[in-house]
Chains A and B, each alone.
Chain A
Amino acid sequence: MAHGSRLKAFPPKKNMTTSSSFPLAVHDLTVVYRDKPAIQDVDVNIPAGKLTAIIGPNGAGKSTFLKAVLDLLPRVAGTVEVFGKPYRQQRQLVGYVPQRASVDWDFPTTALDVVTMGTYGKLGWVKRPGKAEHDLARQCLEQVGMADFASRQISQLSGGQQQRVFLARALAQDAEVYFMDEPFVGVDALTERAIITLLQDLRQRGKTVVCVHHDLDSAPEYFDWVMLLNVRLIAAGPFDSTFTADNLRKTYGGAMKAAIDHFAHFEQSKG
């Protein structure tokens, strides 16, 4: 909050904003679903320029957390700040990758058109995308290795290709912090490599990435910060010191062993 006045003085300069406060600061966040807390009293500051994983069992509120941060779900309590201000004032600094399964891929449109949607936020109301927007979208498709698929109908893409289209759309948002909901789910090995290369590239450019992630095996390799969540925040911090057996036990309860050994099976059975 101490940075508030300083931020006002230099609002358009992204670098100023980034260096002066957390990309995401959440205080006492509580979200209720049908009288039951889905997220309770979560307090966390996500550091800038890091790849952060949100990890926890099914029903732990991982996606809910992202949606509440993005104002897609009502909060019953708590505040969320993106670079020191409410999300509503900072939309331009935020990129979002929803779960791939959340949309109907039979929608009549092309890969390029979906990526172009990433530019709609900066375009604002009514204004149509033009050559500049389409060029940017093409570049973003190229960054995820999908340049050849620009005019392909999206239902004709594989799951991994669809996921890369979603990532390219987020890139087209040209944001400072990216929130991604399970980007690695159901993708092929090629796409997994492409995504992780992209995340590392974003980090190198000083961007912040927060991913809901379900695979405990790959998490230590991919991420440098972790947030362990099970309705309440169990722990958050640098990966090595936070991703401990003790913390995992607290997050997953008695299912921890199964969680580590057979995570996919565990998720299904809790389903």
Chain B
Amino acid sequence: MNLLTDLIFDYTLRNIALGAAVLGIVSGVLGSFAVLRRQGLLGDTLAHAALPGICVAYLLTGSKSPLVLFLGAAISGWVATLVLLRIVRETRIKEDSALGVVLSVFFGVGIMLLTFILKHNDANQAGLDKFLFGQAATVTAEDVNTMTILGVFALLVVAVLYKEFKIITFDPNFAASLGFNDRWLGVVLTSLIVVAVVIGLRTVGVVLMSAMLVGPAVAARQWTNRLEAMVLLAGFFGALSGVAGALISVSEANLPTGPMVILSLTVIVIISLLFAPQRGILWDIKRFSKA
């Protein structure tokens, strides 16, 4: 009861919960498409690739305003995407290896820049390292505003292009034969995943962000055979685990938020894998024992 009144009246807690909920909804919705397109790892690469962007943005401007840092993260996520597409198209390296290469190179550069900034010890840099594993306690009202605007924008694009995203996800060749350009729509979808990653920077951080894209989608798939329901349910699971993780992390002596969110999410995923009707493991066991 105390927590509930705090949620409504406490400024910090409300920010934290709102931010985590927005992140959960957006990453659940976009993660559904990423998972069905077998691009779960793309989110991992894009999230890790955001780190050098944050550092460069800070080094260039000396500012820690969310807009500046988010923009830096988005640009380096984008650059990573372009590098990735080029590698896949112009070399014989397969996509999974290319994802690994891009992830480690960008993240390596990011850690190098971050260490450089931290060593230089100007007072202003405090908190930049929180982007690694997230720290919901540092979320400000300004952050939440930026996150919400970005999130609503991403969800609107999905709502408008829902039919197109669905068909390129199920059957890209057929979609292209109808004139729905898979390459162009794929870039739009990837850009929206970058937006989701940017939204998650403060709360979950770059290292564990991909779980926020994959987890809710995997759990939601267990409960339904309809894409519409899967997308909505994934958004709900994402929000639930986001809020739960964020609240646990601030109530217990400022634990990093990312791991707490992921642990909450893991509980939902495990329950879904075990108990979901038709697709759950227990369901399988029951079916086999009958047969």
A117 pairs with B176, CB closer than 8 A: no
Q: What residues on B are CB-neighbors of A88 within 8 Å?
A: 179
Q: Please tell me if the beta carbons of A126 and B163 are within 8 angstroms of each other in the complex.
A: yes
> Smallest CB-CB separation from B224: which chain A residue?
A108
Cα A110 to Cα B160 in complex, Å, equals 22
* Cross-chain contact B230 with A108 (CB below 8 angstroms): yes
* Partner among A67, A107, A127, A153 whose Cβ is within 8 Å of the Cβ of B173: A67
Q: What residue of chain B has the Cβ atom nearest to residue A179's Cβ?
A: B177
Provide the A101-124 mask, 1 if CB < 8 A to any CB of B, else 0: 011100111100010010011010
CB of B59 closer than 8 Å to a CB of A: no
Q: Are B177 and A108 in touch, CB under 8 angstroms?
A: no
Q: Does A177 contact B (CB under 8 A)?
A: no
Q: Is the CB of A129 within 8 A of B173?
A: no
Q: Do residues A109 and B227 form an inter-chain contact, with CB atoms below 8 A?
A: yes
What chain B residues lie within 8 Å of A117 (beta carbons)?
167, 170-171, 174
- Could you tell me if B170 and A98 are in contact, using CB atoms closer than 8 angstroms? no
Known: A107-B36, A153-B225. A102 touches B171 (CB 8 A): yes
Instruction: Give the residue of B176, B224, B225 whose beta carbon is less than 8 angstroms from that of A72.
Output: B176
Interface of B is mostly: helix
Contact A71 B176, beta carbon cutoff 8 Å: yes
Give how many A residues have a beta carbon under 8 Å from the other chain's beta carbons. Answer: 28
Q: Which of A140-160 contact B (CB under 8 A)?
A: 153
- Asked if A243 is at the interface (CB within 8 A of a chain B CB), the reply is no
Chain A contacts with B in 71-98, Cβ cutoff 8 A? 71-72, 88, 91, 94, 96, 98
**Minimal beta-carbon separation of A74 from chain B (angstroms):** 11
Chain B interface residue count, Cβ-Cβ cutoff 8 angstroms: 26
Cβ–Cβ contact B163 & A120, under 8 A: yes
User: In the complex the two chains form, is B174's CB within 8 Å of A98's CB?
Assistant: yes
Is there an interface contact between A96 and B174, defined as CB atoms closer than 8 Å? yes
Is A36 close to B, CB under 8 A? Answer: no
User: Which residue of B160, B163, B225 contacts A108 across the interface (Cβ within 8 Å)?
Assistant: B225
Chain B residue nearest in CB terms to A122: B178
Minimum CB–CB distance from A251 to chain B (whole Å) comes to 26
A125, B171: Cα distance in complex, Å? 16
B178 touching A121, Cβ below 8 Å: yes
B202 close to chain A: CB less than 8 A: no
A203 vs B64: C-alpha distance when bound (angstroms): 68
Q: Which of B162, B164, B176, B178 has the most CB of A within 10 A?
A: B178
> B177, B221, B224: which has the most chain A beta carbons within 10 Å?
B177
Q: Give chain A nearest CB distance to B16 CB in angstroms.
A: 32
Contact (Cβ within 8 A) B226 A70 = no
Q: Flag if A94 contacts B177 (CB, 8 Å).
A: yes
A131 contact set on B, CB distance < 8 A = none
Contact check, A103 vs B177: say whether CB atoms are below 8 A apart.
Answer: no
0/1 interface trace, chain B 173-185, chain A, CB 8 Å (1 if under) = 1111111100000
Q: Which 10 pairs show the lowest CB-CB distances between chains A and B?
A: A121-B178, A153-B225, A96-B177, A70-B177, A103-B171, A107-B170, A108-B227, A98-B173, A108-B225, A108-B230
Q: A107-B36, A108-B224, A126-B160 are in contact. List 12 more A-B contacts (CB 8 A).
A: A91-B177, A91-B179, A96-B174, A96-B177, A104-B170, A107-B170, A108-B225, A108-B230, A114-B170, A117-B171, A127-B163, A153-B225
**Interchain Cβ contacts under 8 Å between A and B, 23 examples:** A70-B177, A88-B179, A91-B178, A91-B179, A96-B173, A96-B174, A96-B177, A98-B173, A102-B171, A102-B173, A103-B171, A107-B227, A108-B36, A108-B225, A108-B226, A108-B230, A110-B225, A117-B167, A117-B170, A120-B180, A121-B179, A123-B163, A127-B163
